[in-house]
Chains A and B, each alone.
Chain A
Amino acid sequence: MGYLETVRGYVIENFLFGDDSGLEEDTSFLESGIIDSTGILELIQFIEETYDIRVEDEELVPENLDSLKNVVQFLERKLNRGKPNKESIG
Chain B
Amino acid sequence: MESYRSKDQLKICTKCILPETFPGIKFNEAGVCNHCQREESYTARGKERKADYREKLDELVANVKGNAPTYDAIMAYSGGKDSSYTMKLLKEQYDLRILAFTFDNHFLSPSAKENIEKVTAALQIDHVNFMPQWPLMKSVFATAARKEVFAKAALLRASSVCTACITMVKSLVLKTALEMDIPLLAFGWSPGQAPIQSAIMKTNAAIIRENQKVLRRIFADQFGNTTQSYFIPDTYYELYGGRFPYNIHPLAFFDYEEETIARELKTIGWNPPTDTDTSSTNCLLNAFANQCHLEQYGFHPYVLEIANMVRQGIIPREVGIQKIYTEQDNEMVAYAREKLGIVSDE
Binding site for B on A (CB under 8 A): 13-18, 28, 30-31, 33-42, 44-45, 48-49, 55, 57-58, 60-63, 65-66
Contact = CB atoms under 8 A, between A and B. Distances in A.
Contacts of A39: 151, 153-154
A31 B197 contact: no
Contacts of B198: 38, 41, 44-45
Contact of B153 (A14, A18, A44): A14
Contacts of A57: 201-202, 204
Given A33-B214, A44-B198, A49 B207 contact: no
A36 B154 contact: yes
Contacts of B208: 37
A40 B206 CA distance: 13
Contacts, number: 82
Nearest to B170: A37
B165 to A, nearest CB: 14
B24 interface: yes
A48 B195 CA distance: 12
Given A13-B34, A15-B152, A36-B153, 18 more contacts: A13-B24, A14-B153, A15-B151, A17-B152, A30-B211, A30-B214, A34-B151, A35-B151, A35-B153, A39-B151, A39-B153, A42-B195, A48-B197, A49-B41, A49-B42, A60-B201, A62-B204, A66-B210
15 contacts: A14-B153, A15-B151, A30-B207, A34-B151, A36-B211, A37-B208, A38-B154, A38-B194, A39-B151, A41-B197, A44-B195, A60-B201, A60-B207, A61-B204, A62-B207
A31 B24 CA distance: 23
Contacts of A55: 197
B202 A16 contact: no
Nearest to A54: B197
Chain B: interface secondary structure? helix
Nearest to B200: A57
A14, A38, A44, A58: most-surrounded residue (chain B CB, <10 A): A38
Contacts of A42: 195
B23 A31 contact: no
Given A33-B214, A66-B210, A16 B195 contact: no
B345 to A, nearest CB: 29
Nearest to A56: B202
Interface in B189-217: 194-195, 197-198, 201-202, 204, 206-208, 210-211, 213-214
Contacts of A48: 197
Given A38-B194, A41-B198, A57-B201, A15 B153 contact: yes
B151 A36 contact: yes
- Interface pairs A-B: 5 shortest CB-CB: A41-B198, A30-B210, A57-B202, A45-B195, A15-B153
A20 B34 CA distance: 19
B50 interface: no
Given A33-B214, A36-B151, A41-B198, A14 B204 contact: no
Contacts of A44: 195, 197-198
A31 B212 CA distance: 9
A78 B195 CA distance: 22
A25 to B, nearest CB: 18
A65 B201 CA distance: 15
B157 interface: yes
A49 B198 CA distance: 13
Nearest to A40: B207
B273 to A, nearest CB: 26
A36 to B, nearest CB: 5
A15 B210 CA distance: 18
Nearest to B39: A49
A6 to B, nearest CB: 12
